[in-house]
Amino acid sequence: MQSFGGGTATLALIRRAVVDDLKWITPVEFTSYWALVVMVPGINLLGLTILIGRQIGGAKGVAIALAGLLLPSVTITIVLTALYAKVQRSHLIVSALGGVIPATIGVGFVTGLQIARPVLASCVKRGALSLVVAFTIMIGSGVLEALAHWPVVAILITSGSLGALTQFAGIPQKGPGQ
């Protein structure tokens, strides 16, 4: 019920709850799960919720996690959509939305850093070359998306291939959970 701001805000709240507050999973597990769900089609937050729920409580955990993610947000979305339809042209509402958008971007930036931290820490342990490769893949992926407008699936395949090639080139690569 706190995830105003869309998927990025919800991702940040899920991470804070299951990693920082409840310590149900480690930061490395969270990053691994997130990496897995962004590689497949579908709604990433649903996939993430399913993986976390399964680890914590099996099939019952999946059901409870999905209910906790979906029921409050669906209810709030329906109510707010009905209210918004009545006030959408209000100067106050338009101005408020102008402030919410930068805040959502800020939350997304911090969440991205939190997700990157375990990957970068693992690279630091493996050495400078591994860290350079990780930064190159991260920055290169961003550039390919922002400037070349590559499809996300092409970026993921290219990045995965680069990671595999560095493995064969002698840069020790371990998965985030290893």
User: What's the pLDDT at 40?
Assistant: 86
The pLDDT of residue 98: 87
- The whole-angstrom separation of Cα 151 and Cα 43 is 17
For residue 155, what pLDDT is reported? 92
The residue ranges of every structural domain in the chain are 7-126
For residues 120 and 94, what is the distance between their CA atoms, to the nearest angstrom? 39
User: Which pLDDT belongs to residue 14?
Assistant: 93
- The whole-number pLDDT of residue 3 equals 61
What pLDDT does 175 receive?
A: 52
Contacts of 159 (CB under 8 A, 6+ apart): 137, 140, 141
Half-sphere exposure of 83 (CA within 13 A, CB side): 7
How many Cβ atoms sit within 10 Å of the Cβ of residue 158? 15
Residue type at 42 in one-letter notation: G
Low-confidence ranges of the chain (pLDDT < 70): 1-5, 169-178
Joined together, the tokens standing for residue 78 give: 């329906």
Q: What is the pLDDT of residue 68?
A: 92
User: Which helix (H) or strand (E) covers residue 158, if one does?
Assistant: helix 152-168
pTM of the complete model beyond 0.75:
no
